[in-house]
Chain A
Amino acid sequence: MWGPSQAFVNAGAGPHFDVLEVGHPDYVALINADTAFWVLSPRAEALDYLLGGELPKTYLEKEKKLAGDLETVRFKLLTSAVYFNPTERCNLDCGYCYLPREARRTGSDMDPARLLEALAKLKDFFVGTLPEGARPQLVFHGSEPLLAKDAVFQGIEKYGDYFRFGVQTNTVLLDKAAVDFLKAHGAGIGISIDGPTAEVADRTRRTWGGSGVFAQTVKVLEELIGYPGLNIITTVTKENVRHLPELVDFFHERGVTNALFNPVRGTQLGGRNLMPDQTELAHYFFGALDRTFELYEKTGRKLVIGNFANLLLGLVAPGARRLMCDISPCGGGRCFFAVGAGGEVAPCSEFLGLPEFHGGNLFTDSVKDLLATPAFTQVTTRMAENLEPCKRCAVRHFCGAPCPAEVYAFHGTLNAAAPMCDFYAAQARYAFKVIADGRLDALLWDGWKDGLEEIVVM
């Protein structure tokens, strides 16, 4: 009891474990926050696990591997993706856009020659930094990239063998010829739908004249069903949050297999004014996830909500996560960066509207130098363990205190917790409950374990 022969939790060199209520009748979570290691313990035995010798002993035997695993995904990934805005303009005036309104209305486009010059420069950078054969991702994003369609398509045509391209579009200009072109080049096509009816979806996604685009978007969606590169984004706001479960049915009926339900960021005032109440968001977001499970049980067809699936991966396989908003440092400036229509470079699209986070310009500065500027490094060194109250939060590596751009817009500093902290903490607890319920595989992509190695602790 008093000697060094046995490790005890929460003192000296013994591992630290927090206890977390996860809302499950039979289980609570015991979490080592530093390594993102966790055990779901039967409630009645939690204290036995904490005070007994087995958990700290077996944990310490694997601690180095667990820590190394997390260290890799937090600090050692190579930059391999670019969000590229070929125009400042947009043909819609969505209420929550993270880009300044004036630029979206009257801004400039990148002409084809300039865009090709930019892609050549990006390719040079990636060829010099990624392993041979690696294909970085380049997502034409917006604003509305198809307003610069000639330039975008010339870029895809010329560099389609090197970059894995994607286009995130509002579909207004996505005619059959454009769809055929993108499919022929294997490009990802991302579309945005914010509700299951025009009445809901058109509240936030409208033209400058105020008309909705729901009908056009659904038409394109139905044409793209079955295309493996299809991706759908729903931005969750106070205007549509109550309709999320209904939206799951809407997507599932149409054969959608993968969608993101992204809570709106409050980086710009429009988005901030549309942020949902966190309690309401949790209720309907988890309700939507429950609905995907019910439909999977009933039909055998999955609709994976990608941002939540990514959080589940953060719990069971942190190194396999695909999105980098829910870990710190986030992926901005580290796994990816953003290029604006004037060549300005920022850690993430969310920062494009914040000039103080522009590291420089793609056309005049080297990418390597840009990534090392203070505008980038203050983002790439932002770690939850240095923030209040995250430093004492058991789920800090399942949340990441997102999003730094939003935090900066709220507080004037990056060193603060997530404005939606309560929601993200609830989401982590819900994720543990999903695992305790035995629903992990049902809410994750098929084949998620492929290529992974299990770390058996207990």
Chain B
Amino acid sequence: MAKDKSTKKPISIRYTCAPDGDQVGLSHYLMADAKKK
């Protein structure tokens, strides 16, 4: 039996960032400016 091919494309998203020594990693408290500089 012929298989129906989807018109959907696969999705894969992955980004990396170089460690800059100023990483922010917190627990249950999120500083509003808590992002990488």
Contacts and interface: CB of A to CB of B under 8 A. Distances in A.
A166 B8 CA distance: 45
A221 to B, nearest CB: 14
Nearest to B18: A453
A76 B25 contact: no
Most chain A CB atoms below 10 A, which of B14, B32, B36: B14
A262 interface: yes
A319 B16 contact: yes
A332 to B, nearest CB: 7
A18 to B, nearest CB: 15
A141 B29 contact: yes
Nearest to A317: B15
A71 B22 CA distance: 17
A303 interface: no
A454 B32 contact: no
Contacts of A331: 25-27
Most chain B CB atoms below 10 A, which of A230, A330, A334, A451: A451
A72 B21 CA distance: 11
Contact of B13 (A72, A316, A319): A316
Contacts of B5: 44-45
Contact of B26 (A81, A316, A350): A81
A168 B27 CA distance: 13
A146 B23 CA distance: 28
B27 to A, nearest CB: 5
A190 B28 CA distance: 11
A316 B12 CA distance: 8
Contacts of A449: 15
A322 B34 contact: yes
A260 B30 contact: yes
B14 A454 contact: yes
A198 B33 CA distance: 30
A335 interface: yes
A76 B23 CA distance: 10
A41 B21 contact: no
A320 B10 contact: no
A188 B28 contact: no
B14 to A, nearest CB: 5
A166 B27 contact: no
Contacts of A39: 10-12
Contact of B32 (A65, A188, A350): A188
A321 interface: yes
24 contacts: A37-B14, A41-B10, A44-B4, A72-B19, A80-B23, A130-B21, A137-B26, A139-B26, A164-B31, A188-B32, A188-B33, A190-B30, A229-B32, A230-B32, A262-B28, A306-B30, A315-B13, A320-B35, A321-B25, A323-B27, A336-B27, A349-B28, A445-B35, A455-B15
Given A39-B12, A139-B31, 5 more contacts: A80-B22, A81-B26, A229-B31, A331-B27, A458-B12
Interface of B: 3-6, 8-36
Closest 9 pairs between A and B when the two form their complex, measured CB to CB: A335-B25, A42-B6, A131-B21, A452-B15, A317-B15, A40-B11, A42-B8, A324-B25, A69-B16
Interface of A: 26-27, 37-45, 49, 65-66, 69, 72, 76-78, 80-81, 83, 130-131, 133-135, 137, 139, 141, 164, 166, 168, 188, 190, 228-231, 233, 258, 260, 262, 306-307, 315-317, 319-325, 330-332, 334-336, 348-350, 435-436, 440, 445, 449, 451-455, 457-458
